[in-house]
Structure 1
Amino acid sequence: MVDIRLSALEVAVVQNGTRPVDTLRDTAAFAQELERLGYHRIWYAEHHHSPAIGAFPPVVLTAHAAASTTAIRLGSGGVLAPNHAPLMLAEQFGTLAALHPDRVDLGIGRGPGTFDEATARALRRGAGPTTDAEYREDIAAILSFLVDEVAFGPLPEPWLLASSTAGATLAAELGLQIALAHHIRPDNTHAALERYRAAFTPSRWCPQPRVLVCVETVCAETEEEAAWRTGPMDVIKAGLLKGASEIPFPTPAQAAAHTFTAQERQALDAFRAQQASGTPEAVLDRLTQLADETGADELMLTTPVFDLRDRVQSYELVKKHAEATAAP
């Protein structure tokens, strides 16, 4: 039984045969549906130069969704510090928090948000990858600007995204809430959480360790339907495993016709075993196990499936089954 908060990560998939503007229209409908279902928050991820994921700035998607909802929390998960001036991020999310009090999160990450080196350099105006020291300085500057320069009203709630012990150490040193990218690097989750809790220093932002774990979750009425829905993302992952360029997000039928090598299938099966996929019963059992193992305060579900209706249904099945099995 999952008795902790459930939230969502929206990666804004651009489906094969559709246009990015169609994905943009879906984001508002998705936020409204998840608010109706009682999810706690939605975060938007920063991506660039991808045929499968829209290059939509998280701050814009947050503003758009906030204008069409009334209660659900919204924000970045994450906005990538190396790509932005710290003062600009503080101003953007400080403004959103003033316009939508107690509803805006500022989740900050480090990656470039692209697999294309030229795009990554363009985002940083020709600079190379950020160093550990530069990243720490950027995070500290963002937090300082929020308090000293922006402070338009209620502040956004800051989180640090991490997928390694290095990121967990930084979150602990700065006294920030941590969002663990279990959906990207699940093998690092437990070591990162151990480091975070052991090294945590209280701050004005967070008096004690607070953990969110993001898990890839695909729920359907049957195992077969869940496997059908996970097919397109399996094709994307298989390509990334062998260093191929990203491709448009395939349809389930296109994915079903794709041939995986034995090595790819083994890697995909191993990854899925650490996520949550299948019937409502199987998904809730896995989410409960993950919550117990990590001691998470909140689980964030990301559901990269082809159709908006299937994505919403997955979240609906999880939420309804969680409520049905909750203790009276």
Structure 2
Amino acid sequence: MDSKKVTYSILELAVLPKGSSINQVYQHTVDLAQQAEKLGYERMWFAEHHNMPAITSSAPDVLIGHVAQATTSLRLGSGGVMLPNHSPFIVAERFGTLANLFPDRIDLGLGRAPGTDQPTAHAINPGFVQATHSFPSDIEKIQQYFSKDNSSSKVRVPLAEGVDVPIYILGSSTSSARLAAQKGLPYAFASHFATAQLFNALEIYRDTFQPSEVLEEPYVITGINAIVADSDQEAERLYTSGLRMVINILSGTTSQYIEPPTDMSTSLKEVRQHPAIMQMTRYSFVGSKDTVKKQVQKFLEETEADELMVSSIMYDSDERIKSATLFAEIMKEINEQAIVPIK
């Protein structure tokens, strides 16, 4: 099979390093976005998480506006808006507003999960469980609010009508794959942490895809974690910050912040071999440029993804920018070797 050029993007969780302020985190997000724009990244998406002290991306739409003001061409979007937490009407208003402020730069990724624990989900929306079941119809409502045809409706979002805001379905299961295929929408799979159903979901999405007005052929975004440094040993050291966060998540411990990196100790190496850790970090590519390039190439051969969405949980902002720079070099090298199919 011919290879193809692959788009590369960033998923931002706005993690809080120990000793930093939240204001500093948001400034570092801007710094990363400005560099990403220069490095050829297509977009930066912001996750929605609640009641997680170490993750400060609770309001994607606000962060999108903040970063959009400091950049000029990078696409910005939600990765995603957790729709059961929100009114479809309000989502259309906010993203319609963003798209008018920053034309042709705003994406709307929609997910079904709460982005938090059950008590917090209930605090956000007491009807959360019911809202989860209405996810497909809520997507249709948002599409309707963005449609020019909604101008004759009683319930309107006038500033959104006819405005171009691409919608993406996010998921980590086969049900989200079926929904994205049925609606003919691009599909982003959260394989940066939910790895088990990746290949089943992609197969279902591609096999059952129904062309739509917005998309003629399936479009797949896959999530990965990537930490790239000058050497494998240095990358492994930088990875310990994110690895400790994963360990805390799986052990039910709340991370208050991202810890500084340490050497990869024997105990950490042992914990890293635990089946649950290995499963969750299966697509975490850590090492030098050469090491990560081989891992990425293998992943792309297996998934045939159209786009990689890269998450990098790191303590130091400068190291993260360096990692993003090296990863962009990897993708440019891979794409230079690619043969673009003639359609």
Shorter-chain TM band: over 0.9
Match of 1:140 in 2: 140
Whole-angstrom distance in 1 between the partners of 2:195 and 2:138: 26
Moved more, 241-250 or 301-310: 241-250
Q: From the superposition, tell whether residues 132 and 322 of structure 1 become closer, same or farther in structure 2 (CA, over 3 Å).
A: closer
Match of 2:65 in 1: 63
Whole-angstrom distance in 2 between the partners of 1:263 and 1:233: 13
Match of 1:282 in 2: 291
Corresponding residue to 1:240 among 245, 249, 272:
249
Match of 1:174 in 2: 183
Deviations 1:207-239 (A, max 9, x none): 221111111111111111111111111111112
Match of 2:45 in 1: 43
Q: From the superposition, tell whether residues 86 and 131 of structure 1 become closer, same or farther in structure 2 (CA, over 3 Å).
A: closer
Q: Confirm or deny that 1:119 pairs with 2:120.
A: yes
- 2:26 alignment partner AA: L
Q: From the superposition, tell whether residues 232 and 40 of structure 1 become closer, same or farther in structure 2 (CA, over 3 Å).
A: same
Whole-angstrom distance in 1 between the partners of 2:19 and 2:9: 29
Superposed displacement of residue 246, structure 1: 3.3
- 1:281 alignment partner AA: D
Superposed displacement of residue 206, structure 1: 1.6
Deviations 1:168-190 (A, max 9, x none): 11111111100111102112110
Aligned 8 A contact 1:179 1:211 in 2: yes
Corresponding residue to 1:28 among 27, 30, 35:
30
Q: From the superposition, tell whether residues 5 and 230 of structure 1 become closer, same or farther in structure 2 (CA, over 3 Å).
A: same
Whole-angstrom distance in 2 between the partners of 1:272 and 1:227: 13
Aligned 8 A contact 2:225 2:312 in 1: yes
SS of alignment partner, residue 77 of structure 1: strand
Whole-angstrom distance in 2 between the partners of 1:213 and 1:261: 26
Aligned 8 A contact 1:97 1:153 in 2: no
Aligned 8 A contact 1:98 1:153 in 2: no
Match of 2:302 in 1: 293
Q: From the superposition, tell whether residues 53 and 163 of structure 1 become closer, same or farther in structure 2 (CA, over 3 Å).
A: same
The root-mean-square deviation of aligned C-alpha atoms, in Å, is 2.2
- 1:133 alignment partner AA: H
- 1:122 alignment partner AA: A
Match of 2:322 in 1: 313
Whole-angstrom distance in 2 between the partners of 1:62 and 1:212: 19
Match of 1:230 in 2: 239
Q: From the superposition, tell whether residues 217 and 96 of structure 1 become closer, same or farther in structure 2 (CA, over 3 Å).
A: same
Whole-angstrom distance in 1 between the partners of 2:109 and 2:77: 7
Superposed displacement of residue 153, structure 1: 5.0
Corresponding residue to 2:312 among 275, 291, 303:
303
Aligned 8 A contact 2:8 2:331 in 1: no
- 2:236 alignment partner AA: A
Q: From the superposition, tell whether residues 256 and 281 of structure 1 become closer, same or farther in structure 2 (CA, over 3 Å).
A: closer
TM-score by length of 2: 0.88
Superposed displacement of residue 130, structure 1: 4.1
SS of alignment partner, residue 159 of structure 1: strand
- 2:239 alignment partner AA: T
Corresponding residue to 1:266 among 264, 274, 283:
274
SS of alignment partner, residue 187 of structure 1: coil
SS of alignment partner, residue 186 of structure 1: coil
Q: Confirm or deny that 1:105 pairs with 2:107.
A: yes
Deviations 1:93-124 (A, max 9, x none): 11211221111100111111113x33211111
Superposed displacement of residue 242, structure 1: 2.3
Match of 2:204 in 1: 195
Superposed displacement of residue 91, structure 1: 1.1
Deviations 1:142-174 (A, max 9, x none): 112121234355321110101110111111111
Aligned 8 A contact 2:85 2:128 in 1: no
Whole-angstrom distance in 1 between the partners of 2:40 and 2:64: 18
Which residues of structure 1 form unaligned runs of 5+?
Answer: none
Deviations 1:306-325 (A, max 9, x none): 11111111110111233346
SS of alignment partner, residue 327 of structure 2: helix
Whole-angstrom distance in 1 between the partners of 2:128 and 2:39: 43
Moved more, 78-87 or 54-63: 54-63
Q: Percent identity among equivalent residues?
A: 34
Moved more, 237-246 or 193-202: 237-246
Aligned 8 A contact 2:183 2:212 in 1: yes
- 1:248 alignment partner AA: Y
- 2:127 alignment partner AA: A
Match of 1:327 in 2: 337
Aligned 8 A contact 1:214 1:299 in 2: yes
Superposed displacement of residue 55, structure 1: 4.2
Deviations 1:21-44 (A, max 9, x none): 111111211111110111111101
Aligned 8 A contact 2:15 2:258 in 1: yes
